[in-house]
Amino acid sequence: MSQIKKRVSATVFTPNRLEALTDGVFAIVMTLLVLEITIPEIVHPSLQAELPRRLLELWPKLYSYALSFIVLGLLWTLHHRSFHSIKRCDSALVWLNIVFLMFVALIPFSTSLIGNYGTEQLSIVIYASNVLLALVMRLIIWTYATGKYHLVDSDISRRWVKVDKLILIGYSPVFLLVIGVSFINVTAAFSVLVLLLVTAIVMQLITRRLYQ
């Protein structure tokens, strides 16, 4: 009977199934971002004069779309690299991943907020908090999986484990900084977000060899 339970547990909770669910959620969430950008309706006689102006008015939504698409891309990349090393799965990891996906699925909502109310301080606080919580859950997942190496192979690079944690820990204070700066100047807070994304992309390129 115990052998049957072990086989059933191994069949239900597999890293591949969990990663497939995660990929599906990310794909849907990234698609939902673009649905917030709607083509302006213009009466035909004034089309030539109105279209450039109306398209220019879409820039806050286009900006928030690009911002969140890159954020989701970075989150997915980090998550995918982690699950490349996670060889076993248990119910705790499943639910930690579900909570992580809950915050990921909320990103289209917070993106819509900054796209429509980008000059409001509350919008930037909600957006930064949303991404920060997703990062924290990602850190918890990786810490749990590598704790005592019970869900990863024992020969995994210890440098890899440390660098991955340091990257996530390094991102978190920046989002706290964004929240803090938003109380002083919302435009400056947006600038910090852009700087963060540029830095994150550069860090990914620099540390790429550590994941090979």
Burial annotation 74-95 (CB, 10 A radius, 16+ → b, else e) = bbbebbebbbebbeebeeebee
Predicted model pTM? 0.82
- What type of residue sits at position 196? L
In a domain, 88, yes or no: yes
Determine, yes or no, domain membership for 6.
no
Does some domain include residue 91? yes
Residue of 32 and 197 predicted with greater confidence: 32
Q: What is the pLDDT of residues 138-191, one digit of tens each?
A: 999 988 988 877 888 777 777 777 777 777 777 777 888 888 898 998 888 888
Tell me how many domains the chain contains: 1
Report the candidate in 131, 110, 118 with the shortest Cα–Cα distance to residue 175: 131
Residue 179 domain-assigned (yes or no)? yes
In a domain, 103, yes or no: yes
Pull the structure tokens for residue 163.
């660098």
Domain containing 93 equals 12-211
Q: Name all contacts of 156-164 with Cβ < 8 Å and 24+ positions apart.
A: 156/85, 157/210, 159/210, 160/85, 160/210, 160/211, 163/207, 163/210, 164/78, 164/81, 164/82
Q: Considering the domain boundaries, does residue 40 fall inside one?
A: yes
Classify residue 63: in a domain, yes or no: yes
Q: Residue 4: inside a domain, yes or no?
A: no
Q: 20-66: per-residue pLDDT in tens?
A: 999 999 999 999 998 877 776 666 666 666 667 667 777 888 888 88
Q: Tell me: the pLDDT tens digits for 92-141? A: 999 999 999 999 999 999 999 998 888 889 999 999 999 999 999 999 99
